[in-house]
Structure 1
């Protein structure tokens, strides 16, 4: 597994080139500086969490103060209102902010990538049962065949006058939203007319599915696999089926904060790079999974997180598993 996207792009040496951020060794430490970082409980926050928990930030003279949040909208607002210095963000969020899109857009830059994978589309077991009947599914079909089976269910429901399915995404400007829409359209489903798309914070997706509030969702690990392990969901497509290795999560920060704290930003990037390299080592997955599983971090079973880190996950309540190469890349 490679949690980090192209580490060499974000080395301290690269950042110091062309009059940008200074190289880490070019300015002496001026004592520890505190960086407050917001994050959502997802496995792709692993590099940020590892940097704080395993000494990589401290080595660079940074006290990385992690603040767990529940929704991407909260993270966006708390970064804009200066409650956070940096934040774990969806890759489209800084782009949307710089374009002035959405509520409370605030200029945001993203000097570091945290990952390029981890998403999966999960549908309720009830809905998947209908897809098996309508599309003749046997359980081993690919993402496109699953989408076409869902389209058959939707056509049948529409002819019977039933309300459209409600499907959850984590944020309007998110790869989850775009990937879900692409997958639906590939199967012949109009995402704007044939279904109802709503925003559900990542940690709430499994509970919302279990309660019947939504019929399916697209979310990052581990919440996609948590739903299948609970017996309430079936994974029918992964990010690698739809948009392999597309940008997923980044570290976002306000441009003026980065300009005022150039040395701190440079040191933070070095710490994150080292944390990513450590996290990539299979021998470290057990320790990393245990830390991520803690209530103050992801708060999900360590066994699930360990399997996610290895790219292995259960796709249905029967325990059928799939290994996705470079699942988090």
Structure 2
């Protein structure tokens, strides 16, 4: 048995890591895994950097940000798979919601709500009020990019007209309740728990922004992976098996039960259930776990777009330095999954189901569309 330590954040999208432990998939793949629950992403980053853990459930942009000199180094991290798609929601306080409505009906489309937000920003400026404050779980995170894109779609300057703070997801609801922040974007089930407790209302979720949005990946220390190549494939295979199980409708109640455990996500059953219904979270190993190079480039493109990074980097080389589609294929083939022939695809521009060339059979993919009609093509 190969021993390893895996960290995770208490979120629904850590499900594959939790399911693989609960159902014995690690053991059956020859792995003796110790799971470590962490309160925030900085802890996970630092423990990877110092070799205190071997792998982790991590935000997809984290290893790129670290490799590009944004924040402390993590050492080299590879990502042999994604851990699903979607799963985040944006919640605003009851007070902000009322001001956005202003006696009328709230337009919940992303473009419509962004225009209402722009109106509120201007009204606050005239009234001499401070900037709206939104929380995200990490600076270099999909949550931050989603909120900035949403804000900018109405012509606002996200850097100058909104205040951003970093808060662990499980603490965000209390900060809304106490009036410290006006809203937040986080992984489920914390927005759903906040809404159930009357602390605010969910404005939109990942599928409204991007119908199949990349989010978390399995991050593995490259040194560990290189020293344990067979175990790396076994770990990836165990998590793909967990994806097969978790994406089966008949297993839904058991999945909620695993997530609700005190040692797992430790959130109310109802919040977890609402999140699985409303956040678009999918664990389908065939359509939501491949580590697309185009996803990696999109994340780094967002860092450039928002002034976090200069464009003077070889993004293709860095993407392939971290994302490892070859390892996914090696782990997936024995499970009967179809393997994409290419490592990249166009992101956006697909409003309905479409096919990706793969072997032995093409893969029928769900819609892949961004809310503003944008299309991202790799250079």
Q: 2:157 aligns with which of 186, 190, 209?
A: 190
Check conservation: 1:117, 1:240, Cα contact below 8 A.
Answer: yes
Distance 2:177 2:219 in 1: 33
Please report how far the alpha carbon of residue 325 of structure 1 lies from its aligned counterpart in structure 2 after TM superposition.
8.6
Deviations 1:280-320 (A, max 9, x none): 011111111111111111010122213323x237xxxxxxx
Q: Does 1:272 align with 2:239?
A: yes
Q: 1:259 aligns with which of 198, 205, 226?
A: 226
Corresponding residue of 1:173: 140
Distance 1:293 1:115 in 2: 19
**Residue ranges of structure 1 left out of the alignment (5+ in a row):** 1-31, 314-323
Corresponding residue of 1:4: none
**Residue ranges of structure 2 left out of the alignment (5+ in a row):** 289-379
SS at match of 2:163: strand
Show structure 1 runs of 4+ deviating over 4 A: 324-329
SS at match of 1:168: strand
Check conservation: 1:96, 1:105, Cα contact below 8 A.
Answer: no
SS at match of 2:160: coil
Distance 1:98 1:147 in 2: 33
Q: Does 1:250 align with 2:212?
A: no
- Structure 2-normalised TM-score? 0.72
Q: Does 1:55 align with 2:21?
A: no
Corresponding residue of 2:192: 225
Corresponding residue of 2:37: 68
Distance 2:228 2:197 in 1: 45
Distance 1:211 1:189 in 2: 26
Distance 2:158 2:231 in 1: 43
Check conservation: 2:86, 2:281, Cα contact below 8 A.
Answer: no
- Structure 1-normalised TM-score? 0.83
Please report how far the alpha carbon of residue 137 of structure 1 lies from its aligned counterpart in structure 2 after TM superposition.
4.2
SS at match of 1:265: helix
Report the aligned-residue RMSD.
1.7
Corresponding residue of 1:207: 174
Q: 1:307 aligns with which of 267, 274, 284?
A: 274
SS at match of 2:51: coil
